Amino acid sequence: MMLDKDMSSPGGLALLVALRSSAAPHVPAILVHSRALDAAERKECEQAGVTRTILKPLRRSALYEALRECFGEAKETQVAEAVAPVEEGRAGLRILLAEDNVVNQRLTSRLLEKMGHTVTIASNGQIALRLLAEEDFDLVAMDMQMPIMDGLEATEKIRASEKKTGRHLAIVAMTANAFEEDRQRCRQAGMDGYIAKPVSSKSIEMEIARVMAAQEKTEKLEVPRRG
């Protein structure tokens, strides 16, 4: 189902609640809205079982992502097959995991290490920036909400410093917020990918593969220009 939140009374959310209680309790639902949702509205969306939200005006890529997420495993399998050839033969990555929650640190680092990656943990964005200045990493898995310095601010500082070096470090956001405006904020800050919590082995493996494949393609295109 795709519902417009801004429909005339009683509105899209009220219609979804009514549908959930009658004919379509388990059907994935996309809610379209014209402005950023506040905390109370987000809570209503969660209670109504909204699968994804999309901010107007609609973009093709945002709509595609929302539909793909609604289709779940069937679509994930197709994407996994598409990125599988790129994964073959790739050495483990040096990944900086910026995450303040200890349980999430352990869970995510174990998932990444099982995939053959080397993981270094930073408990906030400020520590992540310090580690990046001291060591080389291939990718940062960045939690959006951290104390002292959150993931968005840390990413903006990384991108600002890269303007001097010409390097582009792959950064993947990790957040419990599955709303379209959150994804837009990640893109605007300069993040390359997005993983919704709770993180699963399949979701993080697929997104890392997609982001690194896109980065490799970009680097190959830039080589002739540099020469």
Which tens digits make up the pLDDT trace of 167-182?
899 999 998 766 777 8
**Distance (Å) of CA 182 to CA 46, 109, 112, 189:** 15, 24, 24, 11
Q: Domains in the chain, ordered, with CATH?
A: 2-71 (3.40.50.2300), 89-222 (3.40.50.2300)
What pLDDT was estimated at residue 222?
A: 63
Q: What residue type is 130 in one-letter code?
A: R
What pLDDT was estimated at residue 181?
A: 79
What pLDDT was estimated at residue 81?
A: 42
What pLDDT was estimated at residue 91?
A: 60
What pLDDT was estimated at residue 86?
A: 39
Which tens digits make up the pLDDT trace of 127-186?
999 999 999 999 999 999 999 999 999 999 999 999 988 889 999 999 876 677 788 888
Is the pTM for the entire model greater than 0.75? Answer: no
Q: What residue type is 205 in one-letter code?
A: E
What's the rounded Cα separation, in Å, for the pair 190 and 192? 6
Question: Residue 94 in contact with residue 141, Cβ under 8 Å?
Answer: no
Burial annotation 101-134 (CB, 10 A radius, 16+ → b, else e): eeebbebbbebbeebebebbbbbbbbbbbebbee
pLDDT along the chain (227 residues), means of 10: 86 84 78 78 82 78 75 46 43 91 92 93 96 94 94 96 91 82 87 88 90 83 56
Question: Residue 156 in contact with residue 127, Cβ under 8 Å?
Answer: no
What pLDDT was estimated at residue 89?
A: 37
Peptide bond into 25 cis (omega under 30): no
